[in-house]
Amino acid sequence: MECTAFNRRKHLRMKLLPTSAALALALLASGCASIATMNIRNADRLSAPETRYPGHATLYVFRSTSQASALWSFPVSLDGARAGSVRREQYLAIPAKPGTHWLSVTCPGICGLPGFKVNFQVSAGKSYYFVVDPGSSYDYRYSVITTEIRQIDKQYGDRLMETYEAVALDAP
């Protein structure tokens, strides 16, 4: 009896596999992954009292060493305007006026990672540090692909700047 029930489940899985694969491929190709949003209530807590841009804040955005989607450059936007893009072990230094902003990172539709957005408030004369961390986790039943932006402190940011490559901002 168990053998028959097992065979039915296996047959059903095999029957659904092509449909599931086609749906996953269609979603991947369409680039319709949703964007997760996080609010940082006190971004000043991890900020540093210095900036590259007088009268503005500096936002440092680092791309981690993660192997996930290592082939693609991730576009980085501030308040919906593209600031530049980062590959593995690269970073941007973005000027930001004092006030509330949202920083977003997306991966080109073909890579299949969902985008991520953080909302936070900045003060003039300070620096804020963020790490973009694309990744994946595996379970015996499925795999999960994720992207996140984490705020880090100045000490960690300085260590990353020692080994990561600075990239230019996109022209306005």
* Same domain assignment for residues 46 and 120: yes
Same domain, 22 and 78: no
pTM of the complete model beyond 0.75: no
Residue 171 lies in a domain: no
In a domain, 83, yes or no: yes
- Do 108 and 158 sit in the same domain of this protein? yes
Range of the domain at 113: 33-166
Pair 12, 46 in one domain? no
Residue by residue, pLDDT tens for the chain (172 residues) are: 445 554 444 444 444 444 444 444 444 443 444 567 778 899 999 999 999 999 999 999 998 876 656 667 888 999 999 999 998 899 999 999 999 999 988 776 655 556 778 999 999 999 999 998 876 555 556 555 567 788 999 999 999 999 999 998 876 5
75 lies in the same domain as 8: no
| 100 in the same domain as 37 | yes
Q: Residue 83 contacts by C-beta under 8 Å, 6 or more apart in sequence?
A: 61, 76, 77, 92, 94, 169, 170
